[in-house]
A and B are shown apart, each in its own frame.
Chain A
Amino acid sequence: AQSVTQLGSHVSVSEGALVLLRCNYSSSVPPYLFWYVQYPNQGLQLLLKYTSAATLVKGINGFEAEFKKSETSFHLTKPSAHMSDAAEYFCAVSDPGGYQKVTFGTGTKLQVIP
């Protein structure tokens, strides 16, 4: 069984400030982990994914996430927020073999304040 918890349905940051979106997972096998971004009226776009190689994963638009097995976490960060980062972000977990369906978190809406 696998699950994902995203802490905070809404996060507000000032432009230029650090972005930190939290994701904790539960999985019975070593997981694959994903972050997706959704802009208004669009589908989800893959930001980055962890597939058991390097624990620090770099994605698009300056985002990165670190897999911490001891904390069962996969938090998403960006050093300096930009107005264009305002969107909904979803964390997801899967098993490497793809035998289970992907499980998505409930999403975190990021607001960037000028």
Chain B
Amino acid sequence: EADIYQTPRYLVIGTGKKITLECSQTMGHDKMYWYQQDPGMELHLIHYSYGVNSTEKGDLSSESTVSRIRTEHFPLTLESARPSHTSQYLCASSESGTGSGNTIYFGEGSWLTVV
């Protein structure tokens, strides 16, 4: 069973506000990911990290930023939220090592609405 936690689960904020979505995992996984998903749509990888102080942009361009100062923590920040940022954000993690095959475990998601 995966132990990956996201807060807040639901958030409504005004345009121009700064927001940080928190994500923590207790499995000691090296790899962590942020996906963006609109309702009923496919997943888009926006950020990933293969370890502390390592962050990379994903396949979909995003105005958000991430940091990885601790193994277990991978927060995502929007400096100035816009209505186009309204979406579900899914945090995930996986372990490294040959044979792990990158089995990814997901948090329950953070629903962001920007008004």
Contacts and interface: CB of A to CB of B under 8 A. Distances in A.
A56 B16 CA distance: 51
A73 interface: no
Contacts of A104: 42-43
The bracket for how many chain A residues form the interface is 20 to 34
Contacts of B105: 46
B101 to A, nearest CB: 3
B76 to A, nearest CB: 15
Contact of B106 (A32, A43, A49): A43
Given A106-B42, A107-B42, A98 B101 contact: yes
| Category for how many chain B residues contact A | 20 to 34
Contacts of A98: 31, 94, 96-98, 100-102
Interface string A35-56: 0100001111110010100000
A24 interface: no
Contacts, number: 67
Contacts of A51: 99, 101
Interface of B: 2, 6, 31, 40-43, 45, 48, 90, 92, 94, 96-109, 111
11 contacts: A32-B103, A43-B6, A44-B106, A46-B105, A49-B101, A90-B43, A92-B104, A94-B101, A98-B101, A100-B102, A101-B102
